[in-house]
Amino acid sequence: MSLFPPGATEEDLERVYQSAHKETKIGFTDQGRFFGPHMKNINHLEVGISRVIDSKFTWVVEYLLDKFEKFTIWLKKINRKIFPRRMVIHGKERDSYITAKLTFAKRDDYAKPLHHMPVLFWAKTFFGGWRLLAQGFSDRDGMVRLEFDYLESRRYRYRSFHFEICQLTHVFFHEENPNGKAELEVFERIKISKSDLTGMGYNLGNIQVFYWEYRRDVQMPRVVIKDHDEDSPEYYSDGRNRAIKEQFIPIELTKKKHLLQIKLDPESISIPSIQADYPKNLTVAMEEKLPYSTRCDYWFGRRTMNGMNAATFIPDPLEPERFWVKYFGACTYEVNDEYAFPTVEIKFHIPSDQFPIPEQIITTGPVSSHEKDQFIRKSFTPQDGDQWEQAKRVARVSGALCAELDDHFAATHVNTEQFAIAARRNLRKNPLTILLFPHLKEVSLINHSADTILIGPGYIPRASALTAKGIVKRCEDMMGVLDWKNWRPMEILSPKHTYAQAENLFWEVVGEFVEDFFQKNEKKILEEWYEVFRFSEDLVQNSAEVFHHSIHSKPLSSEEKEREESRIAYYHERYRFDPYLPREEFQGKVRAMSPITKNPFQPDPGDMDNLKDACKYAIMMATFMHTWVNEHQYEDIGEVLYCSLGLRFGEHKEGIFRPESDYAISPDLTRATQMMWFSNLLSRTEYGFITRNEEHDIDPLFSEMLERKRAEFKNLYIEIDNIESRTNI
Amino acid sequence: MESASFPVKASVRTGLHRLWDKFYLWFFSQSFSWILVLMVSFPYRKRMSHDNGIGGTGQVTMVKDQKFPAHPFFAPGKVYPARIRHASATFLDDAMNCIRSMSIKFSDHHFKSPFDIEMNSGEISLFWSAYSFVQFAKLRKEKYGVEYIEYYKKYPEGLKGAEEALRRNPSSFENLRYYCKTPFLFIGEDQIKRYAKYRVRPFNDEPETGINKDMDPVDVGNQRVLPHETRGRNYLKYEYEDRVRRQGAKYLMQIQTRIAQDDDDPEIFNNMIPWDEESHPWHDLAILEIDKTLDWKESTLTSFSLNHMPKTLGIIPAKSIYDYNSLNYLRSHSEKARLARLFSYKVFGFPKEIPNNDIRNSGDWSMIQREKVSNLSRG
């Protein structure tokens, strides 16, 4: 087998790539039709049959319901216009007060004060008008004391009183707010009867607010969402919901058609026909133009370095210019009997100024239903002919699942969520809200959807070796190698290492942006340092257990120990985790996140730099790192036979080392269409980009700084307009 | 130069508001007192709260060396016959954690008097206006000696007042301190309008007993007798009876005054805020000597009214139900309830005495009246 397709050169292949890339570029053009199928929002997507409205009767009912909802929204809008909530305090004296103690609400959190929460005290007139009697914030102990004019409250015009606990929601940058402004939204409203106010003080007692509470059913920082439509700490913006409706219905309908075909007439459908029904992805388009172009060694090395996986190359200790890439497979995680997930180690030769050339692939673990030894090793080289081709496919598949779970879900989604929860729980008066909130919004929502669409009873446990329990455990472990401290972008190995160059370039932009923000806002950040302290405290105490600590505490066999040590070393390098840093211990576990500060009053030396680094890291993960892995899914796992998330053991002794034509090792028809649906869902429905700034929530300076680097990014095959401002898909 | 115009419209509007507020206060007070008449005083022969008490008689002598502004009613050396009544509110068990009271009348008649004053233990109160008193009454929700749980939760000052005023197992009524809290008018010989507050302490200034220390706010509403309590239901009344029989009881009545100003902060009338003792020191007013206690019947008959005051020492007019002075206004308007109770004694006879039995933590007055107990077991 050769490095390139027979008779082709590197230039041919690059030309094919450029042309196919252009051809398969995702466009957002589908506007739907008046009587076409509709979907309410992303929460109604399912890996089975999503709740798409295509029955005419349901459509009419839904249409009427939608009109009714719009009418009520319109009425509310009118009501707000007639009875505006002006922030003008009524009354002159301050002779009475209402008091309360705000705390979180969960069983292990209810004694924790909810500090600096904006609170308002309103009177409502008989005719519906609102009069503000007092406003303020809870103090550090969560105590609220709002003083108001008692005799003003006794006026006959007032019917009821309302104590409102607000949260900061969306940040907007407008001409009138060039430095950004966080909007207040009522989170909890407590009605107070007029007769209860008797003068002096009125104590609302301990108000336990179920506010961005941590889940305790998983050992990683996730937020509790009771109901994503009705009772959630945040909601998708209208634009986000619109985007999914417009972009995804055709894909959903294709999947629905396939599922019906499989049910009614399975003979009428095959993997190639499924593939043909979905929009062409990069590899399909390239194969059409130049067969074997995506299966050759050149492409394998190129995509390993600069594809969705963007692997980490560890230098071989003995041979120069030789590097190892490792995809750790099932290891000790719970797996099913159907799919293989071997650990794959690939040896590359990276000559200077060249893409990596694969030289050896080693698999460890079961690869057929006949052999279940988890330490069985197989080694392949380009001299192995067909088996080498099959080994590359196995490597691609293991790499894809690792990228999906470790790099995508854990390292960007959940990693960003841990910053989002800590920020939402603690930052209110601090200007960091303006810096961070736009990048941290909606991640908790999409992660909640991922729990069911991808994990829970979702796609990945059905289409790969790992069970839902195995996925969660793996994610918990991965969270144990994620820390902002001493994080650095990937080392650039050669001029062809465009991914690492892009990562470094984006890190530079984020660095400049954060520096500028701190220069402008340092005084206010210092004034509200207590919030930073609490932010740091939540971040640390709720972070996962350090991976190598959890591994070292388990009894392991010598083989397991060897594998785990190799994993630890590789993960530390891959996620740039500094194992030599002193770590905090909380509730008997050494925590992965480093503290930003330990001083609640003022920053100690180095704390301000810590804060900057943590902010940079959070923005980096939510934007570039997520965008990369997310948008490349369509390219790298958008063709079932090229790369899926799992290969079945099949019926033969060779197990997964079989040609692509053996569909018994590919995902079955249902999984195949679901996989196409899945990769399209994730790559096609992006919304909220830095430079497009659809919701005016991104600091124009950030867009501007990125714009200045447009050409440099373009040279690295990156369109800056496609870099998301937040992780919401 | 532009002439200053009188804001007629605004003044009329304010005037009408005030008129309405006053009318509403009057209506509120009348309604309240009629409810008392019809629901409590007449049918149950019951006071609103202080049924568990003991009376005494003696005399009150104005101090000679007076440091407060002269007033003819309190002329130095002047002596009045006196009648007092100590009570524990509102339970019928002296060993419970209760507010203790002292009411004084400058006469030896069960009702008629030139000067009555009603005082409770604690320097601040549990409510501060007629309106807050209604809420206080509404949220009592007493059960087995536990009450006001919700009230204390909602009203921090109410809780503070209770912590200040409740007395558990004092050794005697005599050694407690009693405060009138809401101020009264005081127009002395110099005709300068002043406000006055009164208090009573033991003449020998012996330390106060029964003060609750470090009470858990959660437990303030629990007024039940302590576990394994050996003190009886009437121990405090018996102690007072024995004490007076043995040595009499001697008190010092004191007064605090301040000159009325046009721009006085309404908070000076707030019974939750004691006046600063530096600028408004307490001065000795009179010595009160009790040499005889009254029996149950006479103690029950003895009633007090804030209307029994000289005009120059009366209550301060209130503007509305939210005004701090509305409390005294309400008290003064509830006289018909007292009269109804006195009338009920004539119609239904005197209520029975609190038995010295093992029914503890009780405030159930009507249960006592229904009890069939041999007279031998009483007293």
CA A299 to chain CA mean position, Å: 28
Strand partners, A327: A344
Q: Do A203 and B153 touch (CB under 8 A)?
A: yes
Interval A506-527 mean pLDDT? 96
Flag the least confident range among A307-316, A552-561, B256-265. Answer: A552-561
Q: Which residue has 């939760």 as its token pair?
A: B153
- Check pLDDT > 70 for residue A339: yes
Residue of chain B whose Cα is closest to the Cα of A153: B322
What average pLDDT does this structure show over A7-23? 91
DSSP string, A373-429: -TT-EEEE-GGGTHHHHHHHHHHHHHHHHHIIIIIIIIIIIIHHHHHHHHHHHH-SS
**With 60 as the cut, is the pLDDT of residue B32 above it?**
yes
What does the pLDDT read at residue A169? 85
Residues of chain B contacting residue A201, judged by C-beta atoms under 8 Å apart: 155-157
> B350 pLDDT exceeds 80?
yes
> Residue B267: its chain A contacts at CB < 8 A?
95
* pLDDT score for B64: 96
Distance CA B263, CA A382 (A): 99
CA terminus-to-terminus distance, chain B = 83
Percentage of chain A exceeding pLDDT 90: 68
pLDDT value of residue A681: 77
Cα A10 to Cα A357: distance, rounded to the nearest angstrom = 13
Q: Within 10 A of B115 (CB to CB), how many other CB atoms are there?
A: 17
Contact A199 B131 (CB under 8 A): yes
Residue B379, pLDDT score: 43
Widest CA span of chain A, in angstroms? 92
Q: DSSP characters for A490-534?
A: PPP-STT-HHHHHHHHHHHHHHHHHHHHHHHHHHHHHHTHHHHHH
So what's the pLDDT on residue A41? 59
pLDDT-based confidence at residue B1 (cuts at 50, 70, 90): very low
Structure tokens at B323: 């005004």
Average pLDDT over chain B reads 93
Q: pLDDT digits over A603-625, tens only?
A: 999 999 999 999 999 999 999 99
**Is residue A154 within 8 angstroms of chain B, CB to CB?**
yes
Condensed to tens digits (0 to 9), the pLDDT of residues A172-190 reads 998 888 888 888 889 999 9
A206 lies within 8 A of chain B by CB: no
Q: Is the predicted ipTM greater than 0.85, yes or no?
A: yes
CA dihedral A447, A448, A454, A457 (to 10 degrees): 160
Residues A353, A495: Cα–Cα separation, whole Å = 6
**Contact A588/B at CB under 8 A:** no
Q: Which of A35-44, A125-134, A468-477 has the lowest average pLDDT?
A: A35-44
pLDDT at B378 over 50: no
The angle formed by the CA atoms of residues A389, A395 and A397, to the nearest 5 degrees, is 105
How many CA atoms are closer than 13 Å to the CA of A703, on its beta-carbon side? 19
pTM of the model: 0.87
- A-chain CB neighbours of B135 within 8 Å are 195-196, 198
In this prediction, residue A709 carries a pLDDT of 95
- Residue A46: per-residue pLDDT: 58
B115, B308 in Cβ contact below 8 A?
A: yes
Give me the residue label for tokens 């507050």: B197
Check pLDDT > 90 for residue A469.
yes
Mean pLDDT of chain A: 90
> For testing the chain A interface, which of B155, B160, B326 should be mutated: the one with the most A CBs within 10 Å?
B155
Contact A102, A117 (CB under 8 A): yes
Q: Is A150 in Cβ contact with B155 (below 8 Å)?
A: no
Q: How many helices and strands in chain A, by DSSP H and E? A: 23, 18
Comparing A242-251, A564-573, A654-663, B203-212, the range with the smallest average pLDDT is A242-251
| CA-based nearest residue in chain B for residue A203 | B154
CA distance, residue A205 to nearest chain B CA (Å)? 7
Q: Lowest mean pLDDT: which of A50-64, B195-209, B234-248?
A: A50-64
Lowest mean pLDDT across A117-131, A139-153, A259-273: A259-273
Q: What is the dihedral of CA A383, A389, A394, A397, to 10 degrees?
A: 140
Nearest C-alpha in A relative to B158: A201
**Which range has the worst mean pLDDT, A63-77, B43-57, B327-341?**
A63-77
- Give the side-chain half-sphere CA count within 13 A for A188: 17
pLDDT above 70 for A718: yes
DSSP conformation class of B206:
P
**Contact between A200 and B131 using a beta-carbon 8 Å cutoff:** no
- Which residues on B lie below 8 Å from A196 (Cβ)? 135, 154
For residues A585-594, give the mean pLDDT: 95
Percentage with pLDDT > 90 across chain B: 88
